[in-house]
Structure 1
Amino acid sequence: MATTDLSSYDPSKVPSASEMKFGIVVSEWNPAITGALYKGAFDTLVKHGAQEANIVTMMVPGSFELTSGAKIIADTTNVDAVICLGCVIQGETPHFDFVCQGVTQGIAHLNFTYNIPFIFGVLTTMNQQQAEDRAGGKHGNKGDEAAITAIKMVDNNWRFRK
């Protein structure tokens, strides 16, 4: 929601990430925004116990390529979750709609295909200011939220798949 601080949560309700391994795929497009999202996600994982050596990062050209990058990480590493971070800002053409739809469907498909969670950390905003507000600005950082979601989903996966 536009009024929610994405970085506001109760740390006591977040499981330890000390034994978890994560992949983070980051779009190079809109680097000021995606860099802030990445920093938020990485720092939040470490804050909750993830070892830096257990966090694999891949940069991809744009948000549309997040799905392919996430699949590569899932196929070639032993991660427990993959966080996908990107930013698509509305422009004057329907390109925004195609990219948003493609990356959303792609990440959803990965969640149905693999036995690990793929986290949607993609900003889909109407303008640059909305993106800045959600990448460390007045609405917090969607990267933080994506990391917390990843930790909780790995914990769920471990508990329910035993």
Structure 2
Amino acid sequence: MSGSGSPELSVDGSGLRVAVVAAHWHEDFMTGLLEGARTALKEAKVEEVEVVRVPGSFELPVVCAALAPNYDAIVALGVIIRGGTPHFEFVAQGVTSGLTRVALDHSTPIGFGVLTCESEAQARDRSGMSGARESKGYEAAVAAITTAVILREAASDS
């Protein structure tokens, strides 16, 4: 886990409508992810933010799909930690494919803040919690709003 190469906030998100869809599983890590996303949105001057909580990461795509027509960007947050069964692979692949499909079908940027980790220690390091090396919630929000601004500018140029 490098922590290098993460996006920097360099856009003004004023006027954007953003939804943050966050799972409940692994609540300690989710608290860090949510705070990171909220911090990035505040720094980008996004004032219209709705936070929607879902049971787990697997539910992220369907809720994001329902919300996509009403928002300029969505930040999807979840935590999937490998266990002793193939469940990890199925959930991680389903969530990733589902969120990709939602973004493409609705032309709505989705910041991918779903941690797929081998251990709780990895999740802690990426969650943005106190002492963490990375804040994937922050990074996901930056990616979503930056892409939304790019799409807004592209639409105004045409």
Large movers: runs of 4+ above 3 Å: 8-11
Counterpart-to-counterpart distance in 2, 1:19 and 1:26: 22
- Conserved? CA contact 1:26–1:86, under 8 Å: yes
- Conserved? CA contact 2:33–2:138, under 8 Å: yes
Q: Does 1:79 find its partner at 2:75?
A: no
Report the equivalent of 2:92: 100
How many pairs were matched up?
A: 154
- Conserved? CA contact 1:5–1:140, under 8 Å: no
Question: What is the Cα deviation at residue 35 of structure 1?
Answer: 1.6
- Conserved? CA contact 2:57–2:79, under 8 Å: yes
Report the equivalent of 1:120: 112
Question: What is the Cα deviation at residue 43 of structure 1?
Answer: 1.5
1:45 maps to which of 16, 28, 41: 41
Report the equivalent of 1:161: 155
- Conserved? CA contact 1:19–1:50, under 8 Å: yes
Report the equivalent of 2:56: 62
Report the equivalent of 1:35: 31
Counterpart-to-counterpart distance in 2, 1:138 and 1:36: 9
Please give the per-residue CA displacement for 1:94-140, whole angstroms capped at 9, x wherever unaligned: 00000000000001111110021122110000000000000124422
Secondary structure in structure 2 of the residue aligned to 1:158: helix
Please give the per-residue CA displacement for 1:81-102, whole angstroms capped at 9, x wherever unaligned: 0110000000000000000000
Secondary structure in structure 1 of the residue aligned to 2:16: coil
Cα RMSD over matched residues?
1.5
- Conserved? CA contact 1:18–1:50, under 8 Å: yes
Write the letter of the residue equivalent to 1:36: G
TM-score (norm 2): 0.91
Counterpart-to-counterpart distance in 1, 2:107 and 2:81: 31
Q: In structure 1, list runs of 5 or more residues that go unmatched.
A: none
- Conserved? CA contact 1:84–1:122, under 8 Å: yes
Question: Once the two structures are aligned, what percentage of the paired residues are identical?
Answer: 34
| Cα distance change on mapping 1:50 and 1:113 into 2, 3 Å | same
| Cα distance change on mapping 1:131 and 1:49 into 2, 3 Å | same
Please give the per-residue CA displacement for 1:51-78, whole angstroms capped at 9, x wherever unaligned: 1xx1011100000000011112224xx3
- Conserved? CA contact 1:5–1:139, under 8 Å: no
Report the equivalent of 2:3: 4
1:125-136 to 2 correspondence within 5 Å?
125-136=117-128
